[in-house]
Amino acid sequence: MIKVVNKSKLHHLYPDRFVVGLTGGIGSGKTRVARVFAELGAGIIDTDAIAHQLTAPGGGAIAAIRSCFGDEFITDQGAMDRTRMRECVFSDRQKKHSLESILHPMIREEVVNLASRLAGPYLICVVPLLSGGDDWKFSRILVVDCDEDNQIQRVMKRDGLSKELIQSIIRQQPSREQRLAFATDVIQNSADFDSLHPEIERLHKIYLQLSSAIQTDYL
């Protein structure tokens, strides 16, 4: 069943754009699902890629990270030292919060900027750690759901991380139940990937329909 889009959800952050937030746990398949939406014509915004740009040499967040965390968190090349930062924020909630308060507003600003420029009848914005608040003002939230065993197997294969490390990362992310509670749409990705295509195409048609309704109404 299609939920009717509530006009009050069309926030001025993204004038005239229908923006779907796409989230899911580590290794759930967000990137692969987003790639299929891109092939179908959607514009894709990847907040992980934005965070990487902001923390690369010369990136917009480097000065603030240096002043908050110190020179030792910046490499000789001028990028954020990812390994050091990961270890630091993994064990210290306050530091994690400090890093997020530097990065999140900058990421959001760039998302708004991209949303106004990207082509595509609607946009898919991939946000790995979406936690259910309405901060992002997305028109819909699509969750890629996957059981934990599959997440672990896939990330072990993709990144060569240990099972224990992946489990501890999963524990730090919003739980599967939390994500499902705020989803407007869900894609189940626990079976083989090709079986997802019909579901992605079904959602694509719904998003096309809803986005064209918005654009007509705004004219």
Query: Based on CB atoms, which residue is closest to ligand ATP, 32 or 95?
Result: 32
Give the shortest CB-97-to-ligand ATP separation in angstroms. 21
Task: Tell me the residue length of the chain.
Answer: 219
Query: Based on CB atoms, which residue is closest to ligand ATP, 153 or 209?
Result: 153
Q: Give dist(CA 210, CA 55) in Å, integer.
A: 35
Binding site for ligand ATP (CB under 6 A): 24, 26-32, 128, 154, 158, 189, 192-193
Give the shortest CB-176-to-ligand ATP separation in angstroms. 13
Query: What is the DSSP annotation of 89-105?
Result: HHH-HHHHHHHHHHHHH
Q: Is 204 helix (H, G, I), strand (E, B) or coil?
A: helix
Query: Based on CB atoms, which residue is closest to ligand ATP, 11 or 96?
Result: 96
Query: Based on CB atoms, which residue is closest to ligand ATP, 28 or 55?
Result: 28
Q: What is the dihedral of CA 40, 3, 124, 52, to 10 degrees?
A: -150
Query: Based on CB atoms, which residue is closest to ligand ATP, 10 or 123?
Result: 123
Give the shortest CB-128-to-ligand ATP separation in angstroms. 5
Q: Please give the biggest Cα pair distance in the chain.
A: 54
Give the shortest CB-163-to-ligand ATP separation in angstroms. 15
Query: Based on CB atoms, which residue is closest to ligand ATP, 13 or 161?
Result: 161
Cα three-residue angle 64-67-71, rounded to 5 degrees: 115
Residues 6+ apart with CB under 8 A from 196: 29, 33, 36, 187, 188, 189
Residues 6+ apart with CB under 8 A from 139: 5, 9, 10, 18, 19, 20, 210, 214
57 φψ region: left (φ > 0), alpha (ψ -120 to 50), beta (else): beta
Give the shortest CB-93-to-ligand ATP separation in angstroms. 21
Give the shortest CB-24-to-ligand ATP separation in angstroms. 5
